[in-house]
Amino acid sequence: MAKRVPADSGNIESGDLRVLLIRSPRRTVSLQVNPDLSLVMKAPSDTPEPFLRDFLERRRPWVERHLARMARIKAAAPDWKDGGRVPFLGGELELRLEAGPRARARLSEGKMIATARDPADPEEVRLAVERLFSREAAARFPAMLDACLAKAARRRFPRPELRVRTMRSRWGSCDAKAGVITLNARLLRFRPEVIECVIMHELAHFRYRKHGPRFYGLLGDLCPGYEALQAELAEVYLE
């Protein structure tokens, strides 16, 4: 077995763009924009730097679009500090922090009150809020599912079992064989129309498993304007 050659790293610049360059025994050049707005280029070990700078410059429009998108996502992310804002059902709630024996949050008079053993710990505050999202989603999503089934009554979808989870890679999923739809509790960040669009998307999978023309034709019938609603989902980073 050939010995694996360790990747070499450095930096490469083109104008105002500064990129972490990682060289390794690969065949292609790739470029990625990270949520923290950093740039990473991966390239074959023997690729000349002038070629890489030219590659970066040719990809500048793509980079700038994604940097702008990531900046919007970062700006809209919840602020886990006292007095911060947390997205909720398309609006924002003021976050108030209190010291308490465990991470837990509640809604009170248009605010989100979170308790934590250490209110200065953003991860503990986040845990408290996500527990609230899970409870609220479990309480609210069944009625939204019923509303979607009523709108799509002529399609005669089976009433699926509804599960709610906090997921890191998708907004929803459908197991048509088991008759189960799973929705991400973090959907509570969005207005109800967006949540219903996700539900309709998963219901459509009871007819078509893959995302093909027939699937999107059905989704367009179930949820007119779904493209704009799904675009709102793309403006939130799940992690």
Per-residue pLDDT 10s for the chain (239 aa) are 444 544 577 898 888 899 999 999 899 999 998 878 899 999 999 999 999 999 999 999 999 988 888 887 777 778 899 999 999 999 999 999 999 999 999 999 999 999 999 999 999 999 999 999 999 999 999 999 999 999 999 999 989 999 999 998 899 999 999 999 999 999 999 999 999 999 999 999 999 999 999 999 999 999 999 999 999 888 776 55
* pLDDT tens digits, 39-79: 999 999 999 999 999 999 999 999 998 888 888 777 777 88
Largest Cα separation within the chain, whole Å, is 65
Q: Report d(CA 217, CA 111) in Å as an integer.
A: 40
Q: How far is CA 180 from CA 94, 115, 177, in A?
A: 34, 34, 8
CB 139 within 8 A of CB 165: no
Structure tokens at 12: 């490469």
Would you kindly state where each structural domain of the chain is located, as residue ranges?
8-76, 85-131, 137-233
Question: Is 0.85 topped by the overall pTM?
Answer: no
Pair type for strands 91-99 and 111-116 = parallel
In three-state secondary structure terms, 209 is coil
The CATH number of the domain covering residues in 137-233: 3.30.2010.10
* pLDDT tens digits, 147-159: 999 999 999 998 9
CB 47 within 8 A of CB 23: yes
